Structure 1
Amino acid sequence: MKKLLLILMFSAAGLACAAPPSVIPLWPEGVPGKRDIGPEKIGDGYNSNVSEPTLTMVGPAVDHPNGTAIIICPGGGYVRMSTAREGDQYATWLSTLGVTSFVLKYRMQEYGHPAPLQDVLRAVRTLRSRAAEFGIRPDRIGVMGSSAGGHLAASAGTLFDSPLGRTGAPLDSVSARPDFLMLMYPVITMQDPAAHAGSRKALLGATPSQENLQLMSLEKQVTSATPPTLLIHTQADSAVPVENSILFYQALTKAKVPAEMYLFEHGGHGMGMRDGLGTSSLWPRRAEEWLRDRGLLTPVTQAK
């Protein structure tokens, strides 16, 4: 773990000397259904009250980028985003692997469903349509998410073709299917007993329809077209039960989707990359192995 921390420290120093991260507006033509919700709130590593979704690009910290891109969806129950711990920190780590990261700032409870889905699918379409500009491969775009951000990432992997994710923009013609998913202690189901009630209320309202409960219980939306998935969860998670990951893994297995799952004993909800949690703190090594095994860390010539 000390080696991992040293890597992160040197990476952060390298990034500090590089150009500042690029912020990419997701909806330059205007945010769908935009309303006046007041100013965005930023502080203590969190963002909330978002009305202008963006992607913040963090480039590779190594000499030879591998062309892989990962959209990172921070968690926070669809109420706020843990941007520092589950966004920026992940991006710094991924940069050491040659990955280009894009931290997604998405709409949440002030808009509700389907605004977050529209934002994450728009993010995939934006990167795929501008892959050459960003130095990435259009066939190597993954989505990573933690907690409610994991729900959003899994939504991208299961509802990428949903009409709810389209707004009538020309970019809708670009495929929004991620090429892989990385889900950290994700919210998956919206149905009891394993549901995270806070995320459900923030996304679907206090009295969600049965149709929306079914649609956004993502274990029920898995098909053979769902992309390969890595799941990481802990037995000690008392906020989002480990059954969420298990349900999704079972659905992936039934649909014959390549999947790998690590269930650790220690580490409460929102552990991020925290040290001192036994084997749970080593999850970045397992994730790197998974990415490497899938060929996602092998440098390739950028597609034109």
Structure 2
Amino acid sequence: MKKILLVLMLGAAGYASAAANMIPLWPEGVPGQRNIGPEKVGDGYTSNVSEPALTMIGPAVDHPNGTAVIICPGGGYVRMATAREGDQYATWLSTLGVTSFVLKYRMQEYGHPAPLQDVLRAVRMLRSRAAEFGIRPDRIGVMGSSAGGHLAASAGTLFDNPAGRTGAALDNVSARPDFLMLMYPVITMQDPAAHAGSRKALLGAAPSAETLNLMSLEKQVTPATPPTLLIHTQADTAVPVENSILFYQALTRNKVPAEMYLLEHGGHGMGMRDGLGTSSLWPRRAEEWLRDRGLLNQAK
């Protein structure tokens, strides 16, 4: 618990220089760029994104382990909880020797497939420039919360889908993450467990049956989906726990290594909040999972 509290206290201080570590995702020009006005940043949230980017947060220990995590904050594809579900996670991961990259992705102003293109571009960019960032190309994971969890799971299931390609040279680099960490994720786009707000923001008011099926990610799991950690709570009344259960069942059917913690306390968007009983200890469980998979071992 002391480590978690330390992470929370360090969060704000560690991000004074975050802007200096900003990496544009599309330096050659954003695909289908639109004039949507200025980006909005404040109170720990980011919205109206038109220039996707990664913010790099390096390891806080002397011996980085070469593992990288792309972090997708949640917010219903309307905004991103950058502080609570981006910066805090990155600060915690830094204490484990992990290099984090908080993803700023396009949302409702663009809709599908723009967010998918952004997260897959992030994986491809890190893999192609792994030596530059001091990471291993075979240790690139994606972590996401809520709608950011949907985006992370999209990366793990749709990494070869044509919708995620733009014709750029980097399309030739593998976009498959090496692991996923999903916090109270949106998974399905079909009732009764769907989160209606995320569905509308991403797919519009009247998506086709084909699109609903494609973006219901429990239906897109294959044996190639990467190992996955799922964390969700019974108390989540915004995104039903059935979302994680559906994904876990699909992973199990396809013999994909998976671990799931279904906890009692903690509403939606709990982040790394203290005072939620065993739910506040999820970072310990996640650290154990990362360690068990060898992802915290020192790079060789």
Instruction: Tell me if TM exceeds 0.5.
Output: yes
CA distance in 1, matches of 2:255, 2:288: 21
Conservation of the 8 A alpha-carbon contact between 1:66 and 1:297: yes
Q: Deviations over 1:16-35 (max 9, x none)?
A: 79886510000000000001
Q: Secondary structure at the match of 2:299?
A: coil
Would the alpha carbon gap of residues 168 and 154 (structure 1) be closer, same or farther in structure 2, given more than 3 Å must change? same
Assess, with a 3 A threshold, how the Cα gap between structure 1 residues 70 and 3 changes in structure 2: closer, same or farther: closer
SS of 1:233's partner is: strand
> 2:11·2:88 contact (CA, 8 Å) conserved in 1?
no
Q: Deviations over 1:61-98 (max 9, x none)?
A: 00000000000000000000000000000000000000
Structure 2 CA distance for partners of 1:96 and 1:12, relative to 1, 3 Å: farther
Match of 1:292 in 2: 291
Letter in 2 for 1:209: S
Contact 1:11 1:61 in 2 (8 A): no
Which residue is 1:83 aligned to? 82
Match for residue 252 of structure 2?
253
Could you tell me which amino acid in structure 2 is paired with residue 199 of structure 1?
Answer: S
Q: Is the 8 A contact 1:76 1:148 kept in 2?
A: yes
Deviations 1:121-151 (A, max 9, x none): 0000000000000000000000000000000
Structure 2, unmatched stretches of 5+, are none
Instruction: Kindly indicate whether the alpha-carbon contact (under 8 Å) linking 1:12 and 1:92 is maintained by their aligned counterparts in 2.
Output: no
Residues 216 and 18 (structure 1 numbering): CA distance in 2 closer, same or farther, change over 3 Å? closer
Paired position in structure 2 for 1:146: 145
Q: Distance in 2 between the 1:187 and 1:70 partners?
A: 19
Instruction: Tell me the equivalent position of 1:49.
Output: 48
1:11 touches 1:96 (CA, 8 Å); kept in 2? no
SS at match of 1:101: strand
Distance 1:136 1:112, change over 3 A: same
* Number of the residue aligned with 1:6: 6
SS at match of 1:116: helix
1:168–1:7 CA distance, 2 compared to 1 (3 A) = closer
Deviation above 3 Å: which 4+ runs of structure 1? Answer: 7-13, 15-21
- Count of matched residue positions in the alignment of Structure 1 and Structure 2: 300
- Report the residue type matching 1:61 in the other structure: A
Q: 8 Å contact 1:21–1:59 — kept in the other structure?
A: no
Q: Measure, in 2, the Cα distance between the counterparts of 1:34 and 1:106.
A: 13
> What is aligned with 2:163?
164
Matched AA of 1:134: F
Is the Cα–Cα contact under 8 Å of residues 72 and 144 in structure 1 kept in the other structure? yes
Q: Secondary structure at the match of 2:61?
A: coil
Q: Please list every run of 5 or more consecutive structure 1 residues that lacks an aligned counterpart in the other structure.
A: none
8 Å Cα contact 2:18-2:57 kept in structure 1? no
Q: What does the per-residue CA deviation read over 1:43-68, in whole Å, with 9 as the maximum and x for residues that have no partner?
A: 10000000000000000000000000
Distance 1:217 1:17, change over 3 A: closer
Q: Which position in structure 2 is the counterpart of 1:22?
A: 21
CA distance in structure 2 between the partners assigned to 1:287 and 1:51 by the alignment: 32
CA deviation map 1:160-198 (0-9, x unaligned): 000100000000000000000000000000000000000
Mark the CA change 1:122 to 1:19 in structure 2 (over 3 Å): closer, same or farther: closer
Distance (whole Å) between structure 2 residues aligned to residue 113 and residue 53 of structure 1: 14
Cα separation, 1, equivalents of 2:3 and 2:33: 45
TM-score by length of 2: 0.97
1:254 maps to a residue whose letter is R
SS in 1 for 2:181: strand
- Report if the CA contact (8 A) 1:21-1:58 is conserved: no
Question: Which AA in structure 2 matches 1:117?
Answer: L
Change (3 A) 1:173 1:42: same
Report % sequence identity: 87
Deviation at 1:7, TM superposition (A): 5.0
**Aligned residue for 1:108?**
107
Q: Which residue of 1 aligns with 2:94?
A: 95
Alpha-carbon spacing, 1:282–1:21, altered in 2? closer, same or farther (3 Å):
farther
- 1:234-262 Cα deviation digits (max 9, x unpaired): 00000000000000000000000000000
Give the equivalent residue in structure 2 for 1:206.
205
Using the TM superposition, give the Cα deviation of residue 2 of structure 1 relative to its aligned residue in structure 2, in angstroms: 3.0
Please report the RMSD computed on the Cα atoms of aligned residues, expressed in angstroms: 1.4
Measure, in 1, the Cα distance between the counterparts of 2:251 and 2:18.
40
Deviation, structure 1 residue 4: 2.4
For the residue of structure 2 that corresponds to 1:71, the secondary structure is strand
| Length-normalised TM-score, structure 1 | 0.96
